[in-house]
Amino acid sequence: MRRSFLSVVALFSFLAASPACWAHGEESPFAFDVSPRIWGLDLGIGYRGLALLPGVDTTFWAYAGGGYETMYYYRTAAGGLVQPGDLAATGALAGQVPAYKRIEAAWKLGFVQGFAWNERTGTNLVEAFAWYRGRSDWNNFMAHQLISASTISDQDGILQNSLVAGAAYNDVLFAREHKTKSGISGEVSAEWGPGFLLNSLVGSSDYLRLNATFRGFLPVYDVAPDRPVNLFSVYLGEFLSVDYAVGIGAAVPLNIRQTFGGTDPRTGLGWAVRGVDTGSLDTNLKAVNNIEVRMNLPAIVLPDLVPGVVVYWDVGYFVQAGEAGVAEPAPSGLVSSAGAGVYLDLLDIATLAFYAHYRLTGTNADGTALTPFALEFGLHF
């Protein structure tokens, strides 16, 4: 197990070392985006050699990837959400298993057009984007797994195609020497997965999703701001996202209900609120707010080998707003957690973070509120 973990870290570090992009005005017209998974990889190649507007970036993107993943399903056979304690030894669903395996293939084509340049960050300040996204999921499950008793159309998997369009603002600057961030960014997007776009061949999709996302960072203290190597620095971070998906001619697919959308989808509401069962509370309307204090400690040996401590508070809201096929009454609620962790910035290539989470509201499906150890590649946002 340890050898596999180290191999994953080495692979992540090697691949992430590939140039993510080139600064405005440099010669190469190509950009690369590499996102390793535990068992899989997503690779994007961008071309910036055709500028449609002066002084900003125009990028054409192509992505392909996939992976073998452990996924989770937290609903009853009737379609209702699994309640706190239901999977405990004496719970209503004792003996049932939320986990199952999924093979996923994903691909997308995109176009990003800048409209204003940010000299501070060396990126587009304001841009618009349009994407075509495709995916094919194959679910592998057995008896006693919650998804095996479900009646959702994508129980066995799905072939899904969608169109995404939106706009973004980015003024977040990363201070490489002291590992702090400053500024704000945000985006709004709409994703449409119409039934006629080959979305009824495997499973079914016919939905519209709206998303708004905000990030903000504020440096608050640096004990030695003029040093070329970090000694001790502190900054605040906030992430806010609201996501709503509505089924038009079919129920909203599971992979849509279990994620927040936009250009960088993330699992939620469970996981987006740390310490909450991953993939749970998969309603079609959800919101999350993460607030963190990040403290960078003295660099270890190398200037870009920097440990740190993070303390956070997360709040999330969920409601089943008008989606068919869900047991009544329509569920809604507020969840919150708090916790702390330690992290290590590895040469600005990767970050490992180790957390302890505690649910402030309710318990997880197994009846517990404390998650004493959780690992993430990168900080939460």
Per-residue pLDDT tens digits for 118-158:
999 999 999 999 999 999 999 999 989 999 999 999 999 99
- Residues 256 and 286: beta-carbon distance below 8 Å: no
Residue 13, pLDDT > 80, answer no
Q: What pLDDT is recorded for position 183?
A: 98
Q: What are the φ/ψ torsions at residue 62 (nearest 5 degrees)?
A: -135, 130
Per-residue pLDDT tens digits for 76-134:
998 889 999 999 999 999 999 999 999 999 999 999 999 999 999 999 999 999 999 99
Instruction: Report yes or no on whether pTM surpasses 0.85.
Output: yes
Residue 377 bridge partners (DSSP) = 352
CA distance 280 to 182: 32
| DSSP-assigned states of every residue in 285-313 | EEEEEEEEEEEE----SSTTEEEEEEEEE
Cα dihedral: 320, 322, 325, 327 (round 10): 50
Work out the angle at residue 261's Cα, subtended by the Cα atoms of residues 360 and 74, and round it to the nearest 5 degrees: 50
Domain 2-377 has CATH 2.60.130.10: no
User: Which of 9, 64, 66, 15 is closest to 39 using CA atoms?
Assistant: 66
Q: Where are the domains of the chain?
A: 2-377
Q: Taking residues 19-39, what's their average pLDDT?
A: 72
CA distance 280 to 263: 22
Distances (CA, A) of 167 to 101, 130, 242: 34, 9, 15
